[in-house]
Amino acid sequence: MLKDVLSLKMGRSVASIVRSHVPEHRVSQMMDHFTQYVGSSPYASPAVLCSIAHMQTEEGIWYPIGGTRAVPEALSKLAGELGVDIRTGTDILRIETGGGSVSGVTTAGGETIACDAVVSNCDAVRTYRELLSGTPESTKFEKSNRYEAACSGVVLYLGLNRRYEQLLHHNFVFSKDPEEEFDYIYKKGQPAPDPTAYVCAPAISEPEVAPDGCESLYILVHTPYLRPGHDWKAMLPGYRDVILDKLERTAGMEGIRDAIVTENSLTPEGIHNRYRVLNGAIYGLASHGKFTGAFKPGNRRKDLHGLYLAGGAAHPGPGMPMVLMSGWIAADSLDQDVTNGKFA
Ligand SMILES: Cc1cc2nc3c(=O)[nH]c(=O)nc-3n(C[C@H](O)[C@H](O)[C@H](O)COP(=O)(O)OP(=O)(O)OC[C@H]3O[C@@H](n4cnc5c(N)ncnc54)[C@H](O)[C@@H]3O)c2cc1C
């Protein structure tokens, strides 16, 4: 047990552990970049998150045929078969409470649905700040927690009339200087002038997503979460140029602008409005803090009987696999509580 605790290397960051084993700066940059996919800087994240690189490189990654949306589509089909009533397009404005327990939810249409338990998949901080606004639990949560939003990002969705033979399904085009890049994203709160780009070319695994000889690209560049004064409608054209220049310069994708036949994009503002996350954060809450940074708000809430949290800003954290686990843990906790007579 003590050996396990010591192996967590508490008090040290991902970057310091990786760099103490791997002095070659380009290889260490590649290895500690994995923490970006939980929206956090490797220089500020606890060493236990080195496990992300281990899991992805040793155990591999999955591609759902049909893209990521195939996962929620399959889940909603299964839920429908089990008799679950799913109401999309229904905003929840409030979680109703009384006597230390939840008692229902109120929709934007003014309907109050009475219930003994609520599993909130809304961002954890926004659940307390907005859906529970004005309650003692909301005030206490704000006072006792200092959660920081994870980073955000810009996505370019490009349909190209040609292919670049050097591309694999998953590609990374790294910045020259990761310290400078993370300083911009996490400290200065400005988009990095020389960013790292994740370039996904899914036609390599699923040819149906692009016509023959063409390419459908998903390009993700991490940016700071939304800060006051960020106006992405004005910032996007300039940053799109930064990204396309980077791909031409570092990934050998010359002529990419001329090859674009269809284009769409997502900015931190778009992410914020579409998914209603905290300040446009892609991955819930940052994992910053060398001792406890990896801990997220627990799924079963001790402060409010009947409230459970699930999603990227709840335990165990962000990203599709962990979010699915989060829903599973929340559902299991509720199931245990029902079985143990806590709702009797
Ligand atoms: C651009 C981008 C790229 C990503 N890339 C990857 C990746 O490659 N791999 C990976 O594993 N993860 C990736 N992620 C992260 C992953 O998508 C998230 O961690 C995950 O979707 C979070 O799941 P969730 O259920 O918490 O939230 P969401 O998927 O955002 O679902 C929450 C839903 O609740 C709705 N909602 C919120 N509040 C209310 C309310 N009050 N009433 C009604 N509805 C409400 C929202 O509109 C939203 O539809 C990416 C995220 C983004 C934005």
Residue 320 CB–ligand 1 contact under 6 Å: yes
Residue 133 tokens, joined: 């606004």
Q: Provide the pLDDT for residue 292.
A: 82
Dihedrals φ, ψ of 173, to 5°? -115, 105
Residue with CA closest to ligand 1 atom 3: 282
287-301 average pLDDT score: 91
What pLDDT sits at residue 98? 94
Ligand 1 touching residue 92 (CB < 6 A)? yes
The domain 89-148+293-339: what is its CATH number? 3.50.50.60
In angstroms, what is the span from residue 193 Cα to ligand 1's centroid?
Answer: 27
SS3 for 226-252 is CCCCCCHHHHHHHHHHHHHHHHHHHCC
Q: Is it the case that residue 344 has pLDDT exceeding 90?
A: no
Q: Ligand 1, closest atom to CA 130?
A: 41
Task: Report CA(47)–ligand 1 centroid distance (Å).
Answer: 26
Residues 172-205 have pLDDT tens digits of 999 999 999 999 999 999 999 999 999 999 999 9
Which of 121, 308, 329 gets mutated to test ligand 1 (max ligand atoms within 8 A of its CB)?
A: 121
pLDDT digits (tens, 9 = 90+) for 266-282: 999 999 999 999 999 99
Mean pLDDT of 70-88: 95
Rounded to an integer, what distance in angstroms lies between the CA atom of residue 120 and that of residue 139? 18
- Least confidently predicted of 7-11, 81-85, 90-94, 318-322: 7-11
- The answer to whether the CB of 214 is under 6 A from ligand 1 is no
Ligand 1: centre distance to CA 45 (Å): 22
Model confidence at 291: pLDDT above 90: no
155 lines ligand 1 (CB under 6 A): yes
Mean pLDDT, to the nearest integer, of 6-35? Answer: 92
| Percent of the chain surpassing pLDDT 90 | 88
Tell me what the mean pLDDT of segment 314-333 comes to: 95
Residue 316: is the preceding peptide bond cis (ω within 30°)?
yes
Paired tokens of 318: 């962000």
Strand extents, DSSP E, 115-241: 118-120, 152-160, 170-173, 197-200, 215-223
122 lines ligand 1 (CB under 6 A): yes
What is the model's pTM? 0.93
Query: How far does residue 59's CA lie from ligand 1's centre (Å)?
Result: 24
pLDDT-derived band of residue 134, with 50, 70 and 90 as boundaries?
very high
The whole-number average pLDDT for the span 248-260 is 98
Query: Is the beta carbon of 311 within 6 A of some atom in ligand 1?
Result: yes
Domain boundaries, the chain: 2-53, 89-148+293-339, 152-280
Average pLDDT, the chain: 95
